[in-house]
Chain A
Amino acid sequence: MKLAYWMYAGPAHIGTLRVASSFKNVHAIMHAPLGDDYFNVMRSMLERERDFTPVTASIVDRHVLARGSQEKVVDNIVRKDKEECPNLIVLTPTCTSSILQEDLQNFVNRASLISNSDVILADVNHYRVNELQAADRTLEQVVRYYLEKAHKERTLDQSITKEPSANIIGIFTLGFHNQHDCRELKRLLQDLNIKINQVIPEGGSVQDLQNLPKAWFNLVPYREVGLMTAIYLEKNFGMPYISTTPMGIVDIADCIRQIQKHVNNLALNKTFHYESYIDQQTRFISQAAWFSRSIDCQNLTGKKAVVFGDATHAASITRILAREMGIRVSCTGTYCKHDGEWFKEQVKGFCDEILITDNHTEVGDMIARIEPSAIFGTQMERHIGKRLDIPCGVISSPVHIQNFPLGYRPFLGYEGTNQIADLIYNSFTLGMEDHLLEIFGGHDTKEVITKSLSTDTDLTWNYESQLELNKIPGFVRGKIKRNTEKFARQNNITNITVEIMYAAKEALSA
């Protein structure tokens, strides 16, 4: 048992549901107790999704506990098949249901005989993997299922497209700025004259998965989800993949050079040259390189920063801060413990120390000890920063609704470099402004604006009503006090009791 208040990565089934609900026309059925369908709320609220989340629960209740699910799961699958006609139904176990050790595979086999949809059982161990690992695994499982099915039905066409083309693997729902990143990646590939074969899972159709091998190569922008699929495709179809995240000017160039290599390997009578494109973008289109050079950015030299997040974002941001902006990264870390070795290797030489943990109190203690000028982390670090009065830029999940902006905010590609530069610069200047304000005594003098509307001479608040007043949240207390006193004066009352307060509320809210 572990005492825990907060976790960076969610439980395994969330990962599975994120993959399943990202595909078009795929329905997930959770084998779960009442209340575990919280995923629907997150998707509907955070992503502001207009459509009903294609996730339902086959409820585990007392009866199931006593006699097993029996026909219930199969009935639910068949029912969903009729109601929604999905291409694929993914039966998703939860940590509760996995202890029951029911033979879910058997239900899946039975249901797939009756239903028109394909049915699979998400194969994840709830006590060993987290949300991200499960998502990676589920995506691979779905891709494998459809490629093997096509292979069996002899509909698998392994020839590649005439023009260079790519699959983007790992864009999905509730991902940190994933939608914007996807648009930016498409733009980047288009600039390089590379066609997009497929983007999975977001918006993809499972029936098109058999065409994945038609692309010349796979691009896996995020380390956490998609790598397993890319490795599977490489092993079985000889498809090369690029897993360098195109975040930050140096890494984007690196990524493009790898693309160039793969494309030229396959192109028969043509060679592609991307160097001039890289140079043009770096020096003139993206503003980030110039920004690092400008005198504004000089002020950031040697400022201390702390970075924490998922492996992809924390590693990339660390390198951008250290290599591209000359900021001193005192500590960098990730909660992706399963990928710790890779992370250490990536940030070696770019930071003073490395912290790999999924315990937020350790991160908090580290930040308090280092006292950086700015933090780049998750929502948790933002709150740690608030407590310590240190500004924080959010660079990674877990996130809140404000991290699903409506405006275009990619982190990847050349436009991403601009966004990141803004984010970093704004975090630091806010910090400096704050500091200067403190030195010079704040924005203005408070006496002038807090002139109270009520005088304390003619009205008395008795002890109980004062207590009651203090219970009211600070931001409305003043208003309530004024209203009550106004009411009391109108009614010639001088002694304010709790009763008067309520009477005032009733009278004045009309």
Chain B
Amino acid sequence: MSNKISDTLTFECETGNYHTFCPISCVAWLYQKIEDSFFLVVGTKTCGYFLQNALGVMIFAEPRYAMAELEEGDISAQLNDYEELKRLCLQIKKDRNPSVIIWIGTCTTEIIKMDLEGMAPKLETEIGIPIVVARANGLDYAFTQGEDTVLAAMAHRCPNRNLLIEKKELFIKDSTIQDLFSFLPLKKKEENIRLKKMEKHSPLVLFGSLPSTVASQLSLELKRQSIQVSGWLPAQRYSDLPSLGCEVYVCGVNPFLSRTATTLMRRRKCKLIGAPFPIGPDGTRAWIEKICSVFGVETQGLKEREQEIWENLKDYLNLVRGKSVFFMGDNLLEISLARFLIRCGMIIYEIGIPYLDKRYQAAELLLLKNTCKDMSISMPRIVEKPDNYNQIQRMRELQPDLAITGMAHANPLEARGINTKWSVEFTFAQIHGFTNARDILELVTRPLRRNDNLEILGWNNLIKKEII
């Protein structure tokens, strides 16, 4: 195990013995995002126990999700899957009347080969509620990839964008405007120019689940560059899913959505804009610039805007400059966050990541590389499918100023004098766009600020035996 820091991006792959959340945890944020949905996790007690503990207080708030808990009879096929699921879905329909039921397949349904995809269309016509199937299981995926599987499944349900109809509508709209403003030719012209400006580019659909405030912030940033976002996947309601088709451009806002991107390209024939992700002011600017360049729009005031945000971060930047970070890796946001932190002047020893799609993240990786060059900092090593045990050994040698890690390791590392930040918070906090750059640094600096306050007490090592 070498701890040398190289000057090219190195990719490694370890054993995959790492701690992360089960991908079914995506129901936690998705049920809140899609207001008229109901998530049914088809799995065992283990899945239920995880959700109940991971979601904490949310579970007491009558959430729109439930377990279809498999019992011995289901496993040994003494009970009929279809009849059982029908019974539960009818009950859900009666109690909650959702616009869509999303079945989350788990490890168990994979192993017993329960044909969820086959049963869903049949049951859908029988009970009259759309049923979307997503296989978000721990055999194949990690944590945030759960959202990816759900969105990929939803991409199939987006309505088809029919060019002809749309054009006709536009024509009608245009002529009514003409009628209305015929007595005021000047205004009409203005209106037409405005309309033209808005419709100058092909439709753009963004994918990735974000809190609605963050989504509207990003839409607004693009609007400033006169780019209209015609829809989001997912939308606030299932019935508002955006229409897709071959002339639609799509762009991801999160680094873990590679399946969704693939589905949008291959199955819905959309054109993917490969951009860095709008995390941090640098990422946001690069993201907007890339979108603008695809639509041939000259960006305006973007550089100044980024500068202004950096200006606002000054107090935090003073805290982080020159400090080192170690990402253990569990949520796939790592590359983007590391890139932002390097731009902030931090040193990254290692970027652990569960899975790296080099094509989907290509632009982000390039930006990372360029950022390292700009900051004249050596390139971090990227470790796919990390091994937590080995990582802890490496950390013992490197003694980073901050470890970004899961909750299983946070307290033991703190007890050994290593500052930690729980990685899960980055998935729940608002970190996208210019406006929220400060929130990322708020999270990153919190352990540093707290421990600066305690430093003077000299109680950094709180275990009896020095193990790390």
Q: Do A and B bind each other?
A: yes
Query: What residues make up the interface of A, taking CB atoms closer than 8 Å to B?
Result: 1-7, 10-11, 13-14, 32-38, 40-42, 44-45, 48-53, 56-57, 59-62, 65, 76, 83, 94-96, 99-100, 126-128, 130, 380, 383, 386, 400, 468, 471-472, 498-499, 502, 505-507, 509-510
Q: Report the Cα distance A7→B408, complex, angstroms.
A: 22
Q: Report the Cα distance A210→B85, complex, angstroms.
A: 51
Q: With contacts defined as CB atoms under 8 Å apart, how many contacts are there between chain A and chain B in the complex?
A: 183
Q: Is A11 touching B66 in the complex (CB atoms < 8 A)? A: no
Stretch at the interface among B126-134, B196-204, B211-219, B396-404: B211-219
- Dominant SS at the B interface? helix
- For B69, the chain A residues whose CB sits under 8 A away are 1-4
Of all chain B residues, the one with the shortest Cβ separation from A13 is B46
Kindly identify which residue among A13, A33, A76, A128 contacts B137, using a CB–CB cutoff of 8 Å.
A33
Given contacts A34-B20, A468-B216, A498-B216, contact A1 B411 (CB under 8 A): no
Q: Report the Cα distance A13→B216, complex, angstroms.
A: 44
Kindly identify which residue among A94, A386, A505 contacts B435, using a CB–CB cutoff of 8 Å.
A505
Kindly identify which residue among B23, B46, B52, B212 contacts A95, using a CB–CB cutoff of 8 Å.
B46
Q: Is B140 touching A62 in the complex (CB atoms < 8 A)? A: yes
- For A56, the chain B residues whose CB sits under 8 A away are 17, 389
Q: Is A4 touching B411 in the complex (CB atoms < 8 A)? A: no
Q: Is B412 touching A499 in the complex (CB atoms < 8 A)? A: no
Q: Report the Cα distance A412→B88, complex, angstroms.
A: 43
Q: List CB contacts (< 8 Å) of B318-366 with chain A.
A: none
What are 13 A-to-B residue pairs whose CB atoms are below 8 Å? Answer: A2-B68, A2-B71, A5-B59, A10-B49, A11-B45, A33-B22, A35-B20, A35-B143, A36-B46, A41-B407, A53-B412, A61-B16, A471-B212
Given contacts A1-B79, A53-B408, contact A37 B19 (CB under 8 A): yes
Query: What residues make up the interface of B, taking CB atoms closer than 8 Å to A?
Result: 16-17, 19-24, 42, 44-46, 48-50, 52-54, 56, 59-60, 63, 66-72, 74-75, 79, 84-85, 87-88, 91-92, 107-108, 110-112, 137-143, 212-213, 216-217, 220, 308-309, 311-315, 389, 392, 406-412, 415, 434-435, 438, 462-463, 467
- For B309, the chain A residues whose CB sits under 8 A away are 506
Q: Is B142 touching A44 in the complex (CB atoms < 8 A)? A: no
Q: For the complex of A and B, list the 5 residue pairs with the smallest distance between their C-beta atoms, beginning with the closest.
A: A35-B22, A33-B138, A40-B408, A50-B415, A11-B45
Q: Report the Cα distance A44→B212, complex, angstroms.
A: 33
A73 to chain B, nearest CB (A): 12
In addition to A33-B137, A38-B22, A45-B411, 12 A-B residue pairs with Cβ atoms within 8 Å of each other are A1-B79, A4-B48, A33-B22, A35-B20, A36-B46, A49-B411, A96-B44, A96-B108, A99-B111, A127-B75, A472-B213, A505-B435
Q: Report the Cα distance A182→B412, complex, angstroms.
A: 24
Q: Is B52 touching A7 in the complex (CB atoms < 8 A)? A: yes
- Dominant SS at the A interface? mixed
Given contacts A41-B406, A498-B220, contact A5 B67 (CB under 8 A): yes
Q: Is B17 touching A41 in the complex (CB atoms < 8 A)? A: no
B321 to chain A, nearest CB (A): 17
Given contacts A37-B408, A44-B407, contact A62 B88 (CB under 8 A): no
- For B435, the chain A residues whose CB sits under 8 A away are 502, 505-506
Given contacts A3-B91, A44-B410, contact A35 B111 (CB under 8 A): no
Max chain B Cβ within 10 angstroms of own Cβ: one of A56, A499, A510: A510
- For A11, the chain B residues whose CB sits under 8 A away are 44-46, 49
Q: Is A3 touching B17 in the complex (CB atoms < 8 A)? A: no
Q: Report the Cα distance A50→B417, complex, angstroms.
A: 11
- For A502, the chain B residues whose CB sits under 8 A away are 217, 220, 435
B462 to chain A, nearest CB (A): 6
Q: Is B411 touching A7 in the complex (CB atoms < 8 A)? A: no
- For A76, the chain B residues whose CB sits under 8 A away are 17
Q: Report the Cα distance A4→B47, complex, angstroms.
A: 11
Q: Report the Cα distance A3→B67, complex, angstroms.
A: 6
Q: Report the Cα distance A130→B434, complex, angstroms.
A: 49
- For B63, the chain A residues whose CB sits under 8 A away are 5
- For A50, the chain B residues whose CB sits under 8 A away are 411-412, 415, 462-463
- For B84, the chain A residues whose CB sits under 8 A away are 1
Kindly identify which residue among B21, B87, B392, B412 contacts A49, using a CB–CB cutoff of 8 Å.
B412
Of all chain B residues, the one with the shortest Cβ separation from A14 is B49
Q: Is B45 touching A10 in the complex (CB atoms < 8 A)? A: yes
Of all chain A residues, the one with the shortest Cβ separation from B85 is A1
Q: Is B79 touching A96 in the complex (CB atoms < 8 A)? A: no
Kindly identify which residue among A2, A42, A96 contacts B107, using a CB–CB cutoff of 8 Å.
A96
B301 to chain A, nearest CB (A): 13
Q: Is B139 touching A99 in the complex (CB atoms < 8 A)? A: no
- For B92, the chain A residues whose CB sits under 8 A away are 3
Given contacts A38-B50, A44-B411, contact A60 B139 (CB under 8 A): yes
B35 to chain A, nearest CB (A): 12
- For A62, the chain B residues whose CB sits under 8 A away are 139-140
Q: Is A65 touching B139 in the complex (CB atoms < 8 A)? A: yes
B156 to chain A, nearest CB (A): 23
Kindly identify which residue among A5, A13, A57, A65 contacts B17, using a CB–CB cutoff of 8 Å.
A57
A192 to chain B, nearest CB (A): 31
Q: Is A3 touching B412 in the complex (CB atoms < 8 A)? A: no
- For B213, the chain A residues whose CB sits under 8 A away are 468, 471-472
Q: Is A44 touching B409 in the complex (CB atoms < 8 A)? A: yes
Given contacts A1-B85, A83-B389, A99-B75, contact A33 B107 (CB under 8 A): yes
Q: Report the Cα distance A76→B389, complex, angstroms.
A: 12
Q: Report the Cα distance A128→B84, complex, angstroms.
A: 20
- For A36, the chain B residues whose CB sits under 8 A away are 22, 46, 50, 138
Q: Report the Cα distance A386→B60, complex, angstroms.
A: 10
A426 to chain B, nearest CB (A): 22
Q: Is B463 touching A51 in the complex (CB atoms < 8 A)? A: yes
Kindly identify which residue among B50, B72, B108 contacts A35, using a CB–CB cutoff of 8 Å.
B50
Q: Report the Cα distance A35→B50, complex, angstroms.
A: 9
Given contacts A35-B22, A61-B16, A127-B71, contact A4 B66 (CB under 8 A): yes
Q: Report the Cα distance A471→B46, complex, angstroms.
A: 34
- For B54, the chain A residues whose CB sits under 8 A away are 38, 41
- For B220, the chain A residues whose CB sits under 8 A away are 498-499, 502
Q: Is B68 touching A41 in the complex (CB atoms < 8 A)? A: no
- For B415, the chain A residues whose CB sits under 8 A away are 50-51
- For B392, the chain A residues whose CB sits under 8 A away are 52
- For B434, the chain A residues whose CB sits under 8 A away are 506
- For B53, the chain A residues whose CB sits under 8 A away are 38, 41-42
- For A35, the chain B residues whose CB sits under 8 A away are 20-24, 50, 138, 142-143
- For A380, the chain B residues whose CB sits under 8 A away are 60
- For A99, the chain B residues whose CB sits under 8 A away are 75, 108, 111-112
- For A95, the chain B residues whose CB sits under 8 A away are 44-46, 108
Kindly identify which residue among B52, B142, B308, B406 contacts A6, using a CB–CB cutoff of 8 Å.
B52
